[in-house]
Structure 1
Amino acid sequence: MSDTGAARRARLREYQEQLLERMQAAKSGSGAPIQQLGLQVGGTRYLLDLLEAGEIVAPVPPVRVPLTVPWYLGLANVRGTLVGVVDLARYLGEDGAAGAGPATRMITFAPVLGVNCALLAERVFGLRQASGMTRDGDALVDADGQRWTPLSLAALVREPRFLDVTQPPEPQ
């Protein structure tokens, strides 16, 4: 066993313990400040609840599914599970599709949401301390003046439009 392997396992164990503490604090309504995952989709920075986000993975080229809406990019195999890949920028009506640059990542939905889906993000910023931000309308502003928009994946999967990826029939 190498030192790097042992160090990696120790970091993973520490991360799991911290995550468990945060989850328990969230359930009890006390304790650790809430941290969220920061990501950029289109021209907007979003904050995702860690309990709603699954894995962050390098983009897997999706296989296009016929007769689906343009924002539904297709199906991708993520660690043996088929997930639907969504271009959230296009879904929200922003111009252009998510770019496939070196920082592009897919964020899968947490299994608890019951939807095998992933969002394409141009960039993942990592954990953000939402409790240290100030509210400005519907957004949060961090100490550097960056605006962050909270995004609930649980609310997203309850939207009928998000769940229906079929292309509407052409008018005759």
Structure 2
Amino acid sequence: MATLDPAARRLRLRQYQEELLERMQAARTGSGARTHQLGVEIGGERYLLDLLEAGEIVPVPPLTSVPLTQPWYLGLANIRGSLVGVVDLARFFGLQESAAAPGPAARLVTFSPSLGMPCGFLAARVHGLRQAAEMTPSAGRLIDADGHAWTPLALAALAQDERFLQVGL
């Protein structure tokens, strides 16, 4: 596979961002025929996020630790000049005991500014847009055509969870 030159990469990124923006706008207005959600992997589990609740997806930046915080609170990151609290949801959910170094596919997914919480979480992998309407419900999860189970994750509810809001020890 040939490597794209920087100009071609920027063009492809721009096209992807425009397509994502169109889908988000369709989701907001209800004009989309299907509900698109963002698929992410956290602690070996797959989750679906409402596009209206997700903000930016960026490579994991350097983190500044904050003393006397919960083990799942990883610290602060500078995202385009704004400080964002970073959470390891795998640890928060009890899916893993210790935070491993993020792999090359890991991303930081920020909460939407509309949620009023400058926060983000580590995703081991972002699987892209998923069509929840084409999945089969099963015991609180959705099963896709490939047999993968997806759990809906409401960032708005998480942003109001008392335990999530108490990052200090």
Match of 1:52 in 2: 53
Give the counterpart letter for 1:108 in structure 2.
T
Match of 1:138 in 2: 140
Structure 2 CA distance, aligned partners of 1:9 and 1:47? 24
Match of 1:148 in 2: 150
Q: Is the 8 A contact 2:24 2:52 kept in 1?
A: no
Q: Is the 8 A contact 2:23 2:36 kept in 1?
A: no
Q: Is the 8 A contact 2:23 2:32 kept in 1?
A: no
Are the structure 2 counterparts of residues 160 and 11 from structure 1 closer, same or farther at C-alpha, using a change threshold of 3 Å?
A: closer
State the TM-score, normalized to the length of structure 2.
Answer: 0.88
Q: Deviations over 1:136-171 (max 9, x none)?
A: 11111000000000000000011011001001xxxx
Match of 1:117 in 2: 119
Based on CA coordinates, which of the two structures has the bigger radius of gyration? 1
Q: Is the 8 A contact 2:37 2:50 kept in 1?
A: yes
Task: Could you tell me which runs of 5 or more consecutive residues in structure 1 were left unpaired when the two chains were aligned.
Answer: 168-172
Task: Could you tell me which runs of 5 or more consecutive residues in structure 2 were left unpaired when the two chains were aligned.
Answer: 1-6
Structure 2 CA distance, aligned partners of 1:42 and 1:125? 14
Match of 1:84 in 2: 85
Match of 1:170 in 2: none
Could you list the runs of 4 or more consecutive aligned residues of structure 1 that deviate by over 3 angstroms after TM superposition? 3-15
Q: Deviations over 1:95-152 (max 9, x none)?
A: 2325410001000000000000001010000000000000111111000000000000
1:19 has 2:24 as partner: yes
Q: Is the 8 A contact 1:98 1:120 kept in 2?
A: no
* Displacement of 1:77: 0.3
State the TM-score, normalized to the length of structure 1.
Answer: 0.86
Please, what is the CA RMSD of the aligned residues? 2.0
